[in-house]
Amino acid sequence: MLMRAATVSDKARMLFEQGYDILWTAVRNPRMLGWHLFRARHREYRNLPIPEVADESRDWGQIHETQLRSIVTGTPGQSFLEIGIGWTPRVARMKDFQQSGTRYTACDFAAVCDHHRAEFQAAGVDLSKVRFLSNRVGTYAWPLTELVRTGEQFDVIYLDGHHTFYVDLPALLLADLLLKPGGYMLLDDIVWTLNFMKRQLYHVRNEWGFYRTMYDFAGYEPEQEAIPHIKLMAEAILIERLGYQKLNEHSTPFWWALRKPERPAGH
Ligand SMILES: C[S@@+](CC[C@H](N)C(=O)[O-])C[C@H]1O[C@@H](n2cnc3c(N)ncnc32)[C@H](O)[C@@H]1O
């Protein structure tokens, strides 16, 4: 009896705290209201505190960015396709591209592409060699298929989009068709998993703000949420079947640069 009373009062306290969090957030920071509702819907997060996790990826990010720029701009006039461009436009990178005569094609959601175009224009970036191919819903497989149909070929392709099997398996195969023999395939988030994404959504508010509607975890088994999809696809398809070589001097444990063979594997 006593135990039941304690459980009931624990539940009441938890509900009160959640209600308080939601109301207080609605007043103080309405943008975060949805985040608290997300937490309330997912049992595993309910009793956890609300920590902020420092972003420790910056140094790796800088290393990857340096590698990317040296591969893309190392040879002037290359064509570069970036699949997944992120919310924050990289103005300095675009100015490097401008100087090296790089032709740049970007794929992402329409709102993200519009934001980049406006920021680049405001920063005085010359957009004559820049092209945005967007999708409003669904995935970048649509614009990529158009590029395949028109016979486009790129020197360097960077796949850094959704990082999941159902979205990026078609993207990876299309990217292979779009890459010149001997071209570079760059892949980010080699060890990224859906479990990691779940934690990010919970811990990092900006990540939640941008990615909350992009991920549907329901289509994956728990063990599929625990394995890195990009690594699996890169190894099973690009390296083992299509004969791509991993360039260790340009790669890190989290970011790989692969080279497509000059001739199809087995010829
Ligand atoms: C990690 S960010 C890319 C970061 C960027 N490559 C950079 O170097 O800063 C991933 C991007 O993929 C985009 N993305 C994810 N799923 C997508 C989809 N289904 N269709 C279009 N874009 C998508 C997101 O909008 C986001 O901008």
Binding site membership of 112 for ligand 1 (Cβ less than 6 Å): yes
> Do 67 and 112 have their domain in common?
yes
179 three-state secondary structure: strand
Under the phi-then-psi rule, with left for phi > 0, alpha for psi from -120 to 50, and beta for the rest, what region is 189? left
Q: pTM of the entire structure?
A: 0.79
Binding site membership of 167 for ligand 1 (Cβ less than 6 Å): yes
> Do 183 and 76 have their domain in common?
yes
Binding site membership of 209 for ligand 1 (Cβ less than 6 Å): no
User: What average pLDDT does this structure show over 157-174?
Assistant: 97
- Minimum CA distance residue for ligand 1 atom 3: 86
Question: Considering the domain boundaries, does residue 199 fall inside one?
Answer: no
The model's pLDDT over 36-87, given as tens digits with 9 standing for 90+, comes to 777 777 766 666 655 454 555 458 999 999 999 999 999 999 999 999 999 9
> Do 19 and 105 have their domain in common?
no
Binding site membership of 228 for ligand 1 (Cβ less than 6 Å): no
> Do 129 and 254 have their domain in common?
yes
Question: Considering the domain boundaries, does residue 251 fall inside one?
Answer: yes
> Do 38 and 74 have their domain in common?
no
> Do 104 and 130 have their domain in common?
yes
Tell me which residue range forms the domain holding 130: 59-192+228-259
Domain CATH for 152: 3.40.50.150
- For residue 199, the model assigns a pLDDT of 83
Question: Considering the domain boundaries, does residue 197 fall inside one?
Answer: no
E strand or H helix at 102: none
> Do 149 and 75 have their domain in common?
yes
CA of 182 to the centre of ligand 1 (A): 25
- For residue 57, the model assigns a pLDDT of 47
In the chain, the number of structural domains is: 2
CA of 51 to the centre of ligand 1 (A): 25
Binding site membership of 261 for ligand 1 (Cβ less than 6 Å): no
Q: Report the alpha-carbon distance of residue 35 to residue 22 in Å, rounded.
A: 9
